[in-house]
Structure 1
């Protein structure tokens, strides 16, 4: 392990104290945050700039900004982006980047330790992690439990190689697997705990299968419209896993294998579908609680907006699975919706919102999740006969 000229140890202690004061660092993880050199996992990275308009990212390295500014950025509660669009960065001459999608990062530490704390570890726990990334969260678990108890899976070979080198510099040698994490970790045993640091549209059955009965799975569910939230599931008997959402805010990058199709398909023509009035406008897609419910109603859909020939705003909702569509257009103080295809998409949203309102408009953390082989549901009130929504089943898992 190497330390830069500035006292990184002191910065880690200062950072841990800040997180503790903000009640963002569970006591069980403070020693790991103080010990693990995050700068070894993120020697170079990008952060978003503060300029208005299209999001742009600026590179941060020791050479570009100086050792102190670089280290202080590393030891802050910030996500450090290390890859865009699945392509490696030329760090010999890094340039500002815009119009790109982050695909690998070191997630903000407060979220990392929140998820790790949700695993409810003891000293004997074994863990499978999906999404090694920079290796920082892997290193925290190695410090807490010992590297021999940790298996971590990364789908991107270049990212995996860099994480392996970083963990070696930190002094840890866990079992690292490069491959499709949705298919499992190829374990010869079952882990006591499973954690995923990327978003998934549904819980891969392999994660349940490779977690011991009574064990926990902590992961973020998300869709193509938005994140749903962080869930914690108990694996009951190898055939079922049940639990609930424990946080609604985390929005991890979606698993590479589950990204939305690049081609959105053909836009509906102006004469396609049937038009009707609706009391539900497209703002429900972006609001925190109603957006959660809308995502449940539209598991295979994406939305975007564009003006029509008269300059009026149109909001499109397109379903990638069945080519159904909904087009919303402002009409005075209300909205018109034009729907077509085998599923009335906006009617699904309206019905889901009505069920949610009838239940008292509960927060996401009041929703439960049930996972079986070939079937997954999010539900309200109770798993047997309460309102429920199907989640996509992860193929090949």
Structure 2
């Protein structure tokens, strides 16, 4: 199987030939790390087996796309052949190579940087080993099974970084010049600051947002940095075998709940995950909102649900008609969304991207830009 040709093509698509990441991309066999994956099909999630269709396998793994490898607690490696399911949401994946490289570039990795990364399938770890040498790379994941399998696949291509199964939000197994997390956190764990060497740098994303946070360790044990202008979204850190999501019954109940407030919006219907700056601003104010989008013919409904029982649903027919909004509970979720859209309409931009970041030694993280500030 001529995977090298595909890998070189991927490298040419992602970076320029003179980039230090071109050689790792061109010489790392991504297919080794993703032999099976879940594809989002018309009938739900459909299992793809690389060996069953080698040409499709090469096209998928050597394209710049994310491949889901775990739904809920079910690894694609362990699923029955031709499996199809509508249950579960992604809990692990092989991140698109271009975004992995973007995160590494934001880390400003030097040739001698001892670096901690998150494991997942192990592909991103392999790229870093090719770039730095395996002795400078530590890779961790909360899922011991993922760490074991990734270790076996790294070993099969001659790479032996330090691997550990641990909760990345807890104590880390060493000291590092760089920490790069392709999972999202809120706030930045204080353990990262303790594990960073003087002058070290961390790169992560804020949970529930499209915000990349970079920060350099300061002499007082804290860190300062900024929210980058690039966008990225990663799965949240998890502490168990799966995430907790509202069930379909909860959403069906929400769709029938009698509103405490009803009004017609002044704006077209928006599904916040489609507008990362708006979603990020809302998530910073109200962390942990769940979203649901449903469609019946030309009629679309967007649902929002907050852990304290607050809810909102907005329904519109067509794309020009303003939606009718129903909301209830302790907080007015759609009204909070409207205020953000008012600000965007008034000022032309939101202050989240480009914001300065200050992290205290105990992990209290504050963003500010101009007169706007938010503490996580």
Same fold (TM over 0.5): yes
Corresponding residue of 1:113: 101
Tell me which of 6, 9, 28 is aligned to 1:14.
9
Q: Which residue matches 2:310?
A: 324
Q: Matches of residues 1-397 of structure 1 in structure 2 within 5 Å?
A: 6-20=1-15, 27-49=19-41, 53-62=42-51, 64-66=52-54, 68-89=55-76, 93-99=80-86, 100-130=88-118, 132-187=119-174, 190-223=175-208, 227-257=209-239, 259-262=243-246, 267=254, 270-271=257-258, 273-276=260-263, 278-280=265-267, 282-283=269-270, 285=272, 286-304=274-292, 315-320=302-307, 322-328=308-314, 334-362=322-350, 365-372=353-360, 373=362, 375-381=364-370, 386-391=371-376
CA-atom RMSD in angstroms: 3.3
Give ranges in structure 1 of 5+ residues lacking alignment. Answer: 1-5, 392-397
- Alignment CA distance shift 1:389-1:275 (3 Å): farther
Distance in 2, matches of 1:370 and 1:362, equals 19
Of residues 240-249 and 323-332 in structure 1, the stretch that sits farther from structure 2 once superposed is 323-332
Give the whole-Å Cα distance in 1 for the aligned partners of 2:335 and 2:261. 12
Q: Unaligned regions of 5+ residues in structure 2, if any?
A: none
Q: Distance in 1 between matches of 2:300 and 2:99?
A: 36
CA contact (8 A) 2:268 2:321 kept: no
Over residues 123-149 of structure 1, what are the superposed CA-to-partner deviations in whole Å (9 max), with x where a residue is unaligned?
A: 11111113x011111111112212121
- Say if 1:213 and 1:238, in contact at 8 Å, map to a contact too: no
Change (3 A) 1:343 1:26: farther
CA gap of 1:390–1:277, structure 2 versus 1, over 3 A, is farther
Alpha-carbon separation, structure 2, partners of 1:181 and 1:119: 17
Q: Once the 2 structures are TM-superposed, how far is the Cα of residue 246 of structure 1 from its aligned partner?
A: 2.4
- The alignment partner of 2:109 has SS state of coil
CA displacement at 1:268 relative to structure 2: 9.0
1:152 partner SS: strand
Look up the match of 1:395: none
Query: Which SS does the other structure have where 1:186 is aligned?
Result: coil
- Which sits farther off after the overlay, 228-237 or 240-249? 240-249
The separation in 2 between residues aligned to 1:158 and 1:206, in whole angstroms, is 24
Write the distance in 2 (CA, Å) between the matches of 1:280 and 1:376: 32
Q: Confirm or deny: 8 A CA contact 2:207 2:235 kept in the other structure.
A: no
Structure 1 residues 353, 146: CA separation in 2 closer, same or farther (over 3 Å shift)?
Answer: same
Q: Residue 318 of structure 1: CA displacement?
A: 2.2
**Deviations 1:10-53, CA, capped at 9 Å, x for gaps:** 43333323334xx5x7701112122222232223334445xxx4
| Distance in 1 (alpha carbons) for counterparts of 2:264 and 2:58 | 55
